[in-house]
Amino acid sequence: MRKLLWLLNGVVLGFIAAHFVNQTPEGRRFFDRVGRGVEEFGRAFSNGYHDAEQDDADFEAALRDLTSKH
């Protein structure tokens, strides 16, 4: 329970610090860069997931074709 309280305190203090940093022009630029990086990572992850999903569908279709011929 004590570790959970330390974790929650750290999260709260982190949000407070981020709020104050975000009030400066440099802080806003920093968080804008971080936000763009997170969005780019999310898009890349999503594209990779959908590509893998399509590859799986193509593989399953090829297996169905192969098994239906025999």
11-70 residue pLDDT tens: 999 999 999 999 999 999 999 999 999 999 999 999 999 999 988 888 888 888 888 866
The whole-number pLDDT of residue 31 equals 95
Q: What is the pLDDT of residue 21?
A: 94
Task: Report the pLDDT value the prediction gives residue 63, as an integer from 0 to 100.
Answer: 82
- Distance CA(29)–CA(65), nearest Å, equals 54
How many Cβ atoms sit within 10 Å of the Cβ of residue 30?
Answer: 14
Q: Are 12 and 18 in contact (CB under 8 A)?
A: no
Full-model pTM: 0.59
26-to-1, 3, 12, 17, 60 alpha-carbon distances in Å: 37, 33, 22, 14, 51
Are the beta carbons of 21 and 27 closer than 8 angstroms?
yes
pLDDT of residue 70: 61
